[in-house]
Structure 1
Amino acid sequence: MLDVGGIDVEEIATALADQTYDEHRWFLDPRTGQFAFWTSDTGVDGVNPVEINELDLIPIDPIPSYVWYRDMADFAEGISDGPAGQRLARAVQGRGQFRRFQNQLYEQLPT
């Protein structure tokens, strides 16, 4: 049985955020909790091509960008500091919202 406590949270976050679904896929080995990175050219071992349906691994599908956007907007709405919340709310408007949102967060962090 998989020990979920041993799963690398950063790696699962990377897999969930990876929007290049057509080029490669992320998988989780349920026996070990290790992540596998698959491409059609190099398989999961980096050398031997293998078809996805031949893998005994759990696919990790990326979270669609509209879900990430909704999370950012909800976060901005929940900020109790009025000016900071307004800056974040403006940052998520229009193209480039992910970069602007991140920039606003990093600019406002205390050093």
Structure 2
Amino acid sequence: MDVQDNRSTGARRPAAEHVAAAAETLRLLTDHTRLTLLHALAQGDAERNELTAHVGLEAAIVSQQLSRLRLARLITSYKADGRVVYSLPDPHLRRMVSEMLAFAERSAAEAG
């Protein structure tokens, strides 16, 4: 990780381009549908029809969100038996999605 020294606190500051990339990723994760899709893919690879059933939305909406995630390189796709299968290959992103949802669950339990 390319970092810059912050001499006043002794802490290292990440490079601006890395902060911008992280902020863009987090922005993409603020969408309920995209986060639900990522959670489903964190459980294992799936076809669009399986993901459509999982999120309970129209196939066109799911396809649009999958496309956005793929263009952002958060997910990948491959063909198997003539069908497109989506995957969440990055273990860091899988862990981040899991941790965010666990945090939300804990926060809701503590508040309620």
Which TM-score applies when normalising by structure 1? 0.29
| More helix per residue | 2
| More strand per residue | 2
Q: Which has the higher contact order (CA 8 A, sep 6+)?
A: 2
